[in-house]
């Protein structure tokens, strides 16, 4: 017997209906902020992905060679592919360029609830605005989208990798990404050990550990400035925009992210009810221009883990299927009325979804089948159709009446 590959899922119709609804809300939200959709290939040159994505991802790639020996990889995320497309086709466009995507990604990870080998990301990239308002916009967009979806239980945590990188530079640490990966994994003892082995002075290690333990309101910025001797005016301004926009957040300077391209503000959004895989969104300010041989270009963005978002909505008991259009089940009372039944279905489908009985069940069996399938109404097509009439049956009340076909749409 064949079964689906480990870490993948078959998404069945009812689930897909919810996914499409959620996708429509997300799309509408992203577009309402002026973002345009971009689609990139499912696979890219391996080097694009390995250039700057960090150990975390490189270990988890689906990489392969094609028949001409090209080294390729299924995309594990879309930030690097979108930036590649930007440099290939959009670089001359007026700035900023606002792009969004909803697409599948592939990571060779140990599967568990909320963690898959094929999953979907819905994200945005804002290219070419080096300002705190650009960063604020991206965060406000993530927040607005979650609110529009109806998610209630989530928290936004915002950090700043720029501060950590600055501290590490001053401490003389070249392998910064290694340290950031350890911080991201929460392996603080390992951070201490690694920096010690690199001969970093104890005072620097203490400063770094003090900064990454800072978590709270905007006031933790004062402490960070004092410990790290940095100015955080821009970060503070960005946070002010968020507060003014009604976005609730926690400053968490321990956020280091799992990808190596982040340079400034970073954030993660958690849905606590999801347990271990509670991170439903990740993003921040990053730099990828250099891998394309270009000068620094300000870029920031985020990606929702779409599958996790759906799990979170379910835990929050959000019903994505409200306002569902009612559908009708169309039954020819005898096989000789099948052609007429097709005709009725064709006319009604202009206004409402219709399912046709195609198994030649006897009327009684067909009605019981329709009820079991969740239909509330059936349209019986028989002799009356010659006069443009059908039998309209309420499957719940078990009542029926003969009506003009054109009246049916208003009765559902
Ligand atoms: P990321 O944090 O690696 O960031 O992924 C974004 C989101 O994708 C995560 O927060 C998580 O919800 C979801 N995700 C990641 N791996 C899996 C998995 N194996 N199964 C299910 N969901 C998963 C990025 O990918 C960046 N490109 C985000 C970004 C855009 N930064 C700037 N712009």
pLDDT tens digits, residue range 159-186?
999 999 999 999 999 889 999 999 999 9
**Atom 14 in ligand 1: residue holding the nearest Cα:** 305
CA distance 48 to 81: 8
Q: How far is the CA of 393 from the centre of ligand 1 (A)?
A: 49
Percent of the chain residues past pLDDT 70, beyond the cut? 99
For residues 125 and 301, is the Cβ–Cβ distance under 8 A? yes
Residue 410, pLDDT score = 85
Residue 325, pLDDT score = 63
CA distance 52 to 245: 33
| Bridge partners for 394 per DSSP | 377, 399
- Is pLDDT of 324 > 80? no
Which DSSP helix (H) or strand (E) runs through 304?
strand 299-305
Q: Smallest Cα–Cα separation from 257: which of 194, 311, 320, 177?
A: 177
Q: 409 falls in which pLDDT band (50, 70, 90)?
A: confident
Q: Smallest Cα–Cα separation from 122: which of 150, 103, 141, 97?
A: 103
The answer, as to whether pTM is greater than 0.85, is yes
User: What are 216's two structure tokens?
Assistant: 């709270």
Provide the mean pLDDT of the chain: 95
On the question of a cis peptide bond just before residue 384, with omega within 30 degrees of 0, the verdict is: no
CA distance 405 to 86: 53
* Ligand 1 proximal residues by C-beta, below 6 Å: 77, 79, 107, 109, 115-116, 119, 121, 123, 125, 258-259, 279-284, 286, 301-303, 305, 307-308
Which 3 state secondary structure label does DSSP give 396? Answer: coil
Q: What is the pLDDT of residues 30-84, one digit of tens each?
A: 999 999 999 999 999 999 999 987 777 788 999 999 999 999 999 999 999 999 9
User: What are 288's two structure tokens?
Assistant: 């990828």
């Amino acid at each position: 017997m064949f079964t689906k590959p480990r870490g993948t899922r078959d998404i069945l119709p009812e689930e897909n209906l919810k996914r499409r609804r959620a996708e429509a809300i997300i799309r509408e939200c992203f577009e309402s902020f002026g973002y345009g959709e971009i689609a990139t290939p499912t696979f890219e040159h391996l080097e694009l992905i390995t250039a700057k994505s960090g150990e975390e991802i490189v270990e988890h790639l689906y990489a392969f060679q094609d028949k001409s020996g090209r080294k390729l990889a299924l995309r594990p995320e879309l930030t690097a592919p979108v930036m590649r497309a930007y440099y290939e086709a959009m670089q001359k466009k007026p700035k900023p360029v606002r792009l969004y995507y909803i697409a599948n990604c592939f990571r060779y990870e140990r599967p568990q609830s909320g963690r898959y080998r094929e999953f979907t990301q819905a994200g945005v990239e804002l290219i070419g605005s080096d300002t705190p308002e650009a960063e604020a916009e991206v965060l406000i967009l993530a927040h607005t989208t979650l609110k529009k979806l109806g998610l209630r239980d989530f928290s936004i945590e915002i950090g700043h990798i720029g501060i950590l990188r600055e501290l590490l530079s001053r401490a003389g640490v070249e392998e910064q990404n290694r340290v950031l990966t350890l911080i991201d994994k929460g392996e603080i003892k390992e951070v201490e050990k690694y920096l010690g082995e690199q001969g970093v002075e104890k005072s620097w290690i203490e400063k770094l550990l003090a900064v990454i333990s800072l978590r709270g309101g905007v006031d933790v910025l004062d402490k960070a400035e004092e410990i790290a001797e940095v100015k955080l005016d821009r970060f503070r301004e960005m946070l002010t925009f968020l507060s003014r926009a009604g976005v609730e957040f926690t400053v968490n300077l321990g956020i280091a992210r799992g990808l190596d391209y982040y340079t400034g503000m970073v954030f993660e959004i958690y849905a606590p009810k999801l347990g271990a895989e509670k991170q439903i969104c990740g993003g921040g300010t990053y730099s990828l221009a250099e891998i394309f041989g270009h000068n620094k270009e300000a870029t920031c963005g985020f990606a929702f883990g779409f599958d996790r978002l759906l799990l979170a909505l379910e835990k929050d008991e959000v019903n994505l299927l409200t306002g569902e259009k009612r559908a009708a089940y169309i039954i020819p009372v005898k096989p000789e009325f099948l052609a007429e039944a097709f005709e009725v279905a064709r006319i009604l489908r202009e206004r409402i979804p219709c399912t046709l009985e195609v198994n030649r069940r006897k009327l009684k069996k067909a009605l019981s089948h329709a009820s079991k399938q969740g239909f509330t109404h059936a349209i019986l097509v028989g002799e009356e159709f010659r006069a443009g009439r059908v039998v309209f049956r309420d499957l719940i009340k078990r009542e029926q009446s003969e009506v003009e076909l054109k009246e049916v749409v208003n009765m559902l």
